Amino acid sequence: MNEKAMQGFFGKFIEKNPPKESEACELKITSSISIPFDAVKDHQVKALLEVESTGLYHRITDQPWIEDRPHAFTKPKPFDCFFMRNNKAFVVVWFYKARQKKKFIKIRINDFLKLKATCGRKSFTEPMVLEIASEVLNIS
């Protein structure tokens, strides 16, 4: 499994079970027992924090295409850009276990950063984030 596969499962789930409010998510997956905190890159942390406070502007870039098949790589983009402010922002993690139900753990960005600052480790485990999770999505 990889993050691309996680994105597919997550996207299908969200389309069928939309959140009540707009939100931004950074997805992370591992088949190990822990994920390094620095897997969530500094620019991603900055963007998630901006979504929750002052705001984030993002231009959706044009995707590559093949002349004979104009939509071969992607769905048409819905619009050119967006601005999000005062919305919830999450790190969503999946501790992948073969042949077990998919459990995506949603952690608010500030809770994630607090755990990083106080736990005394360079990585986090599933039990650690389950304690601070905002929500656990059981995805079939």
Q: Is residue 112 part of a domain?
A: yes
Of 5, 11, 35, 15, the residue nearest 25 (C-alpha) = 11
What's this model's pTM, rounded to 2 decimal places?
0.90
CA separation for the pair 36, 116 (Å, rounded): 10
Task: Print the domain residue range for 29.
Answer: 3-15+25-58+80-139
- Residue of 71 and 81 predicted with greater confidence: 81
Q: Is residue 72 part of a domain?
A: no
Amino acid at 78: P
- Beta pairing partners, 105: 93, 136
CA separation for the pair 62, 99 (Å, rounded): 37
Q: Is residue 67 part of a domain?
A: no
pLDDT at 126: 98
Q: Is residue 115 part of a domain?
A: yes
Mark out the alpha helices in the chain (DSSP H runs). Answer: 3-16, 42-52, 109-118, 126-132
Q: What is the pLDDT of residues 11-54, one digit of tens each?
A: 999 999 999 999 999 999 999 999 999 999 999 999 999 999 99
Q: Is residue 71 part of a domain?
A: no
Amino acid at 126: E
Q: Is residue 96 part of a domain?
A: yes
Q: How many domains, in total, are found in the chain?
A: 1
pLDDT above 70 (res 110): yes
What is the average pLDDT across 68-78? Answer: 67
Q: Is residue 134 part of a domain?
A: yes
Q: Is residue 70 part of a domain?
A: no
